[in-house]
Chain A
C-alpha cells in the first residue's frame, strides 16, 4: 500500500518537476542534504558509544553516507548548470542525552529503509541519466545499511519488543513531520497568492516611496542605534 502511494507520488512529482532542471537540481540537493544529515546523526552516535569496535562499524557507515552526499552533490551540479543558493537543514538531536544510544539506530534504520524504497522507485521511473546511474550503487549501499543498523540494534542489547515499539514511534514521528511539510507547502502556496495580490494592489502606490528611500546614499549620524540596550 505504502509502496503504491509512494510510487504514484514519485511518478506525479517526476511528471511535474522533470521538465525543469532547476527543480530537479533542487530535489537532488535535498537528497544530498539528507545524506549529510545521516552522517551527522551517525557521528553523534559514535560520540555516545563506548565500544571502539562498534564505533568503527558506524564510522565506516558514516564514510559511505558522506560519499553518497558527495555523489548527489556532483550530480546536482550537472543538473543545476549554474550557481545554487545554499540549503541548510536545522540539525535536531533525535534523542535526549539519557536515552539509550540504540534508539538512534532505530531512527536510522527506518530512514534507510524508506530511502532504499524511495530511491528504487525513483530509479525505476527516471529516464537514463546521471542521477539514475548514481542511484544504482547508492541503493545497494542503503540496503546494506538497513541490515547493518538492525544488526546494531540487536548487538546493543535492544529486545525485539523494544525495537518494534521504537519503530512505531519513529514511523509516527516521520508521518507527523511529513504532514507538517504538506501543511507548510499549502501555507506557502496560499502565501504566494496573497502576497502577489498585495504586491499588485499596493505596489503602484508605494514603489515610488521605496525608490526615494533607496536614493539616500549617505546617512547622517544619530544615536538610534543605542536606544534598544
Chain B
C-alpha cells in the first residue's frame, strides 16, 4: 500500500510517503522552498517524496490530510464572531483565508495531485498528533499526551494507544478546547518578550534560564488549575485572534509591566561574560522563568490525570509544546511514566508522517505492529558536480556580500575529496580540535527542526571565544541562546547527569540534562547559564558517520563531545542542497565545509 501524508495551511507544511508500512521519505516544504515554516501546499516535498519511489500521484492508494478542515473552520468562525462587534477585521481576514482557500483543502489536494476526491481523507488535528506520538514509539500500548497551540477545536488532549489484532487503536480520553491553550499562552508571552510567536518560543525558554520565577503566582492566575486537574486559561489577558497585531491585552502589561520592544537589547549571555543587566531585562527574564515554571506544572498535572485515566508505564508525547526541552525534562524526571517517547518532529510537520503511517496500518491487508522511525528521512544529494564550482569561485567577488563583520579569508577555497569515512573523520576531527568552525553536511537531511549530525555546524565544546564567534559571525544569534552538545553514547555517562535508562531518549536533542561538574569546563561553550545542556546522544546504529566523527574527536581530545548547532542562516530553514550549504559557507565566518566526502577549506 502506498500512502501519502500531507500537512499544510498554517505553518510547517510537509509531506511523507509510506510504502507497505515503511516511511520512505518525509520532508517539510521549507527545506525545498527555503522559507522557514512555509505554510504553502507542499508541492516540492510531495514531488520529491514520490520521486524517491519512482511513483506518480496516480500510483497512490490514498492521500491523508492532517486535520479536519470543517471542524477547524467552525472554530475559526466562532473565535472571530465571539468578540462581536470588535472583531470585524479578524472576521474578514479569517473568512477570506478560509472561504477562499483553506476550507477546500481536500479539493485542493485532489486537484493539485490529480487524484480522485475519494482518495483523499483526513484525520482530526490532535488525533494526527496523537498517532504521531504513538506510531513511531515502538510501544505495545501507551498513554498519549498532546499539548499544542491549537488545531481544530482541541488545544491539549489525552489519548490511549494500543495495538489490537495487528491494527493501531488510538482512543480519545479527553480534550481541552480552544481557547484554553498552553501553546497559545506561551506564544503570547513570546510576543510580549519581543520575539516572533510560532517561531521563537525557544528564545523565551532560553530567557527563562536567566530569571527567577518571582511572577509565578501571577502566571498561575492566568493559567488556572482546576478541580479536574485540567487547566483553564483566563482569556482576559489575551487576544489569540491577532497574534501579530497584539497577542495580549492591556491587562497582561498591567500585570507584568511594559512589553519588550523587538529592538531592545538583551544583555544576557549563556556563556562568557554577562552584560550589564537593566531592571527591565531582569523583569523579562523573571516573567519568562515564571511562565516556564507554570507551563511545567500544568503539563505535569495533565500527565498525572493521564496516568489516572491510562495506567501505563509508557507516555507518547507530541504537539508544538513537546519541543520545549526543559518541560520535557521535567516530564522525564518528575512525571509518572517510566518510558517517554517524543517523535523526531513533534510539531505539525511530523503529522504528515503519522497520518500516512496510521492509514497504512489501519487499512492495509497485512497486519502491523509497533514500529519506529528515525529523523534522517529527508533528501540527500550527490555533491560532486556542485562542489566542483569551488575551483572557479573567487571569494574576493563575494566580499561586498559577506555577512556583517565577516572578513574574507583569501582568494581561493581548497577542495579535497576523501576515499573513505575513516580518513574523512580523522581529518575533520583534527580541524575541529584545532578550533575550526565546521559545516557538517551528510546524507539525508533531518525531519524536524533539530540538526542531528546531517546538517550541522560543529565546533569544540570547551572554547567559549570560538562559540561567541560562531554566534556573532556565523549564526547571527543572540548571546543568551545556548548551544547544544552532541556526544557518543559511550561518553554520555561521563558528561551528563543522566540515568542509564534515559540514555536512549536523549538521541534527538529533546531534553535538557545537567552536566557532571568534573567535565563542566570541558563543555563550557555548550552549557546554559543554569548548568544544563540540550543533549544529543549519538549512537553507531542510528547515526554511524556522525558517531565515527565524535569518536575520532574523542580519541584526539579525550572526550567525544562537540557543540552541534543547526546549519542554517538566521531566518532560514536548515540547508538542504550542497549549494545552500556553500552559500552560507561563503557569506559567513565558517572555516571548513564538509559535504559528504568533499572538504572545502577557506
Contact = CB atoms under 8 A, between A and B. Distances in A.
Contacts of A219: 153-154, 174-177
A64 B401 CA distance: 6
Interface string B63-90: 0000010000000011101111100100
B177 A217 contact: yes
Contacts of A55: 385-386, 388-389, 392
Nearest to B235: A214
B77 A210 contact: yes
A66 B81 contact: no
A225 B173 contact: no
Nearest to A62: B583
A119 to B, nearest CB: 17
A11 interface: no
Contact of A210 (B78, B198, B243): B78
A68 B56 CA distance: 38
Contact of B176 (A188, A192, A218): A218
Contact of A47 (B191, B243, B362, B577): B577
Contact-size category for B: 35 or more
Which range holds the interface residue count of chain A?
35 or more
A86 interface: yes
A84 interface: yes
Contacts of B261: 81-82
Nearest to A220: B174
A22 to B, nearest CB: 9
B171 A52 contact: no
A200 B96 CA distance: 16
Contacts of B176: 217-219
A50 B385 contact: yes
A89 interface: yes
B174 A188 contact: no
A88 B582 contact: no
A85 to B, nearest CB: 4
A196 B88 contact: yes
A90 interface: yes
B196 A83 contact: yes
A214 B389 contact: no
Interface stretch (B17-25, B29-37, B268-276): B29-37
Interface string B155-191: 0000000000000000111111111100000000001
A65 to B, nearest CB: 9
A218 B175 contact: yes
A179 interface: no
B308 to A, nearest CB: 14
> Which residue, A40, A56, A199, has most C-beta atoms of chain B within 10 A?
A199
Max count, chain B CB within 10 A of own CB: residue among A60, A217, A220: A217
Contacts of A210: 77-79, 81-82, 84
Contacts of B82: 207, 210-211, 213-214
A73 B404 CA distance: 14
Contacts of A192: 92, 96
Interface string A121-144: 000000000000000010000000
B127 A225 contact: yes
B202 to A, nearest CB: 16
Given A59-B583, A88-B37, A217-B230, 11 more contacts: A43-B577, A52-B389, A55-B388, A56-B389, A59-B393, A73-B571, A83-B191, A86-B199, A89-B35, A221-B171, A229-B362
Interface of B: 11, 32-41, 43-44, 68, 77-79, 81-85, 88, 91-92, 95-96, 100, 121-124, 127, 153-154, 171-180, 191, 194, 196-199, 226, 228, 230, 232, 243-244, 261-263, 359, 362-363, 385-386, 388-394, 397-398, 400-401, 403, 571, 577, 579-580, 582-583, 586-587
11 contacts: A40-B33, A40-B34, A67-B400, A82-B262, A86-B199, A90-B40, A210-B79, A214-B179, A221-B173, A225-B123, A229-B121
